[in-house]
């Protein structure tokens, strides 16, 4: 059994993988101010409710984009599963070349996404991750991360608009039927959702042009299905892409230790 842990800006996701599938998925808020005891008790409860034993986990692999929370989660994992956990970084998966100026600056979750896509497809690919940040990670058919485009995620944009304007409310992320909003809610939905639709299509087109036109796209992240009109742009929408990449990296590291 393998445990993959993805520490994100909004949530930390724990996935237990066995017999070719993700048997259990648990999500906790990423709160660096919380104690180790908070996360350990939550994880113990999940294992207890699922009828699982910590000793059943053979491999633990973790990625994090929250430096303040990373050591807390690492200590919890080492306390429950032993010292030998895999913490993903730019050197964790040599099969994937990180061909950017400063490899240590790239998020570990993007490395995991790239590892998953590299093993699934053998062609140029853009991974669009709809999370707290919206990221476009370009991976070549040769297995190189060529670069990344980053901008605020959908929910982040809505919250920023709500926080920095006096009269605009926080609205649900529902795709409107028209770009001409007739009330405040429709107007914000049109601006954010239809605006991001155009943004995503434009960035994908530009990336494809820079790669000579041959490039597929894969989507992941909690909001990947929100903009339904974008779905034809993707060969696949996989909500567990990051976890699957973590699994691939963890299994590769363990195999090399044998």
**Same-fold call for 2-87 versus 97-244:** yes
pLDDT in tens, 178-199: 999 999 889 988 999 999 999 9
Quote the pTM value: 0.93
**Using 50, 70 and 90 to split pLDDT, how confident is the model at 171?**
confident
Please determine, for residue 258, whether its predicted confidence score (pLDDT) is greater than 80. Answer: no
Check residue 110 and give its pLDDT.
97
Q: Percentages helix, strand, coil for the chain, rounded to the nearest 5?
A: 40, 25, 35
Is 109 a known active-site residue? Answer: yes
Q: Which residue has the tokens 């605020």?
A: 152
The span from the CA of 258 to the CA of 245, in Å, is 21
The span from the CA of 246 to the CA of 189, in Å, is 34
pLDDT in tens, 220-233: 998 888 888 899 99
The span from the CA of 143 to the CA of 163, in Å, is 41
Check residue 78 and give its pLDDT.
97
Please determine, for residue 129, whether its predicted confidence score (pLDDT) is greater than 90. Answer: yes
Please determine, for residue 167, whether its predicted confidence score (pLDDT) is greater than 80. Answer: no
Looking at residues 58-71, what average pLDDT do you find? 97
Domain ranges of the chain: 2-87, 97-244
Could you name the CATH architecture of 2-87? 2-Layer Sandwich (3.30)
Torsion angles phi and psi, residue 229, rounded to 5: -70, -5
Report the DSSP beta bridge partners of residue 61. 4, 86
Give the active site residue among 6, 11, 91, 109.
109
Superfamily of domain 97-244, CATH level 4: ATPase, nucleotide binding domain (3.30.420.40)
Check residue 46 and give its pLDDT.
96
């Amino acid at each position: 059994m393998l445990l993959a842990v993805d520490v994100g800006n909004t949530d930390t996701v724990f996935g237990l993988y066995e017999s070719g599938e993700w048997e259990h998925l648990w999500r906790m808020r990423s709160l660096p101010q919380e104690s180790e005891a908070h996360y350990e008790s939550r994880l113990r409860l999940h294992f207890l409710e699922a009828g699982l034993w910590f000793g059943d986990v053979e491999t633990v692999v973790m990625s994090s984009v929250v430096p303040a929370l990373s050591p807390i989660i690492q200590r919890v994992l080492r306390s429950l599963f032993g010292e030998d956990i895999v913490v993903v970084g730019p050197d964790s998966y040599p099969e994937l070349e990180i061909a950017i100026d400063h490899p240590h600056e790239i998020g570990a979750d993007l490395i995991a996404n790239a590892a998953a896509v590299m093993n699934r497809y053998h062609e140029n690919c853009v991974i669009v991750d709809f999370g707290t940040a919206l990221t476009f990670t370009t991976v070549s058919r040769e297995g190189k991360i060529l670069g990344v485009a980053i901008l605020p995620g959908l929910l982040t944009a809505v919250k920023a608009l709500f926080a920095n304007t006096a009269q605009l409310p926080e609205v649900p992320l529902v795709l409107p039927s028209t770009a001409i909003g007739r009330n405040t809610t429709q107007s914000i939905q049109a601006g954010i959702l239809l605006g991001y639709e155009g943004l995503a299509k434009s960035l994908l087109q530009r990336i494809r042009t820079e790669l000579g036109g041959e490039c597929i796209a894969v989507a992941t992240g909690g909001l990947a299905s929100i903009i339904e009109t974008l779905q034809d742009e993707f060969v696949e929408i996989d909500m567990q892409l990051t976890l699957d990449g973590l699994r691939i990296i963890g299994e590769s590291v363990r195999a090399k230790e044998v």
